[in-house]
Amino acid sequence: MTATILFASKSERWDTYEGPLRRALDALGLTYRLGTDFPSEEVDYIVYAPNSGIDDFTPFTRLKAVLNLWAGVEAVVGNPTLKVPLARMVDFGLTQGMTEWVVGHAMRHHLGMDAHIFGQDGIWRTETPPLARDRRIGLLGLGALGIAAGTALARLGFPVTGWSRSEKSVEGITCRHGDEGLRDTLAQADILILLLPDTPATQNILNADAMARMPKGAVVINPGRGPLIDDDALIAALDSGHLGHATLDVFRTEPLPPEHPFWAHPRITVTPHIASETRPDTAAQVIAENVRRGEAGAPLLHLVDRDLGY
């Protein structure tokens, strides 16, 4: 049987994804039609980005699954017209890219690199950073990205405490869950990394009360989702000196408006949502495998729990 696969994203994405998708589908020996324009009643799978313009899935009467191109699914998971399985993107390229970005910025703050990179003022600064074993890492989020980043930091010698909503066990990471676990994780986080999804339960999880529990001078690194942080509370905590710095890659509004106070704040580093990106070659392999599984009647990879929102 031929599987009809609709690629639904911005038009420029088709040029970068068509080749990798065809190679990945061919490598699995699948019989398929792949394109950007099919009658809705003929579509079996949608390779989907929320900016595609599709917000009503009702016309897709033969649809078997929606395969999200992005790790985040907050823009589609609550769509009442989506009745079929939804799979989020978890692939090697995205995970490795996130791990490299997180480790790079954690090391930057751990070693105090900014003072030397930006402090070229003739002052001979001789402060020596502690060893990794003496710098405590807190990690909110123990999904695929959180586990990968936390494991990499633990291998460098950092004591890593990770928090998730449900109980988990990860080798090399001290795992916490629940309200008390969150408080414990915040209290020991010299560097706090946020890798949670954007759900009603996680929005503003780093609010004024949470920041007050963190050690004085602690650093926040957020490559997860913008709404995880109360922006006004963050600025207040930085202005008071309770927090030392924040490196932010994601924001409530993107691109971040030029007039936003984050840009000019001396204790905030803005990066333009570049912590990680879906790579066509590796993402195509995940999509092709899920099409293969769907056609074989096997469970799909990385299915979203609608109740949890991720």
Q: Using one digit for the tens of pLDDT, what is the confidence trace for 190-239? A: 999 999 999 999 999 999 999 999 999 999 999 999 999 999 999 999 99
Greatest mean pLDDT among 68-77, 124-133, 134-143 lies in 134-143
- Name the class of domain 3-91+278-296: alpha beta
To the query of whether residue 225 is one of the catalytic residues in this protein, the response is yes
Residue 141 three-state SS: coil
Domain 94-270, CATH among 3.40.50.720, 1.10.10.10, 1.20.1740.10, 2.60.40.10: 3.40.50.720
> For 149-158, how does the pLDDT look when each residue is reduced to its tens digit (9 = 90+)?
999 999 999 9
Structure tokens at 62: 């033969």
Q: Mean pLDDT over residues 248-271, rounded?
A: 98
Is residue 183 part of the annotated active site? The answer reads no
* Catalytic position from the list 22, 260, 273, 293: 273
Which of 105, 109, 135, 225 is an active site residue?
Answer: 225
DSSP letter, residue 47 = E
In the chain, where are the structural domains located?
Answer: 3-91+278-296, 94-270
Domains 3-91+278-296 and 94-270 share a fold: yes
User: Are 95 and 144 within 8 A, CB to CB?
Assistant: yes
CA angle at 144 for the pair 138 and 150, rounded to the nearest 5°:
30
Q: What confidence category does residue 125 fall into, taking pLDDT thresholds of 50, 70 and 90? A: confident
Which residues are bridge partners to 220 per DSSP?
A: 192, 246
Which residues are CB-neighbours of 225 under 8 A, at least 6 positions away?
72, 74, 194, 196, 197, 198, 202, 250
Q: Is the pTM of this model over 0.85?
A: yes
